[in-house]
């Protein structure tokens, strides 16, 4: 369900919880509220109005973050891999490939390929990089936290770095994390594992994060401050 409050779209999720929780989510400042099942829409709207100044500040922060321009994947453009910037050098051949060498990303594609086809190939390349790191890092954090993830997937998302189904012990991780510095992936893995214990971002959740990753606030700030994808 969506409400418009002071001109701002707000997505509402009613759950079996005791208190309302408001979020302004990266990367584009999407506003969501989790509310108890019995709370009326009018009460939710009043709650959002009390936070409207803070909401606008957070949205402005996201709007002002640097973003990559629209990609065509041709020579001279840049891409990010694990937080490092690479300059694309496009070459032509019969088989798609991407090789990192120094500060260059050597992209081999068919001459007649479209920007959309190149984008699709690059996303799958990122997916392979991300999966390899998850396979390395998730078992490490399962051992540290004592929490077991039943299954996980990668997914291209524009409003969340990660999400989970706590009951099924399943995690989804944003494909864009392969573009960010490596500790950002670890932070999101820990974040989602903690939701197996506490689903809300309340004091208990933050205390759990403090227990297992003392520097999580600094990493979160780093993640949300890094260059975002182009978005229309």
Could you read off the pLDDT of 42-62 as tens digits, one per residue?
999 999 999 999 999 888 877
- Tell me how far CA of residue 174 lies from CA of 16, 137, 164, 171, in angstroms: 26, 15, 11, 10
| d(C-alpha 176, C-alpha 154), whole Å | 9
pLDDT in tens, 9-41: 999 999 889 889 998 886 678 899 999 999 999
As a whole-number percent, the residues of the chain with pLDDT over 90 amount to 74
Q: Are 27 and 49 in contact (CB under 8 A)?
A: no
For the chain, which domains are there?
2-64 (no CATH), 114-225 (3.30.2010.10)
Q: Are 48 and 10 in contact (CB under 8 A)?
A: yes
| d(C-alpha 54, C-alpha 95), whole Å | 50
Is pLDDT at 97 greater than 90 in this prediction?
A: yes
Closest C-alpha to 66, from 187, 231, 232, 228: 228
| d(C-alpha 24, C-alpha 2), whole Å | 14
Is pLDDT at 231 greater than 60 in this prediction?
A: no
């Amino acid at each position: 369900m969506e409400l418009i409050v002071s001109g701002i779209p707000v997505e509402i999720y009613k759950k079996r919880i005791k208190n309302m929780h408001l979020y302004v989510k990266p990367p584009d400042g999407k506003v969501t509220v989790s509310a108890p099942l019995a709370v009326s829409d009018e009460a939710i709207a009043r709650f959002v109005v009390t936070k409207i100044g803070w909401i606008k500040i957070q949205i402005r922060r996201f709007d002002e973050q640097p973003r990559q321009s629209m990609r065509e994947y041709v020579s001279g453009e840049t891409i990010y891999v694990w937080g490092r910037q690479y300059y694309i050098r496009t070459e032509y051949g019969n088989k798609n490939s991407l090789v990192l060498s120094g500060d260059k990303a050597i992209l081999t594609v068919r001459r007649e390929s479209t920007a959309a086809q190149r984008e699709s190939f690059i996303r799958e390349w990122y997916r392979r990089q991300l999966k390899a790191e998850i396979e390395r890092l998730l078992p490490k954090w399962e051992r540290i936290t004592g929490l077991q993830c039943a299954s996980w997937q990668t997914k291209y998302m524009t409003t969340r770095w990660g999400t989970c189904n706590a009951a099924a012990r399943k995690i989804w991780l944003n494909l864009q994390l392969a573009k960010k510095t490596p500790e950002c992936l670890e932070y999101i893995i820990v974040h989602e594992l903690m939701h197996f214990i506490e689903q809300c971002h309340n004091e208990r959740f933050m205390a759990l994060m403090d227990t297992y990753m003392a520097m999580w606030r600094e990493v979160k700030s780093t993640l949300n401050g890094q260059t975002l994808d182009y978005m229309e």
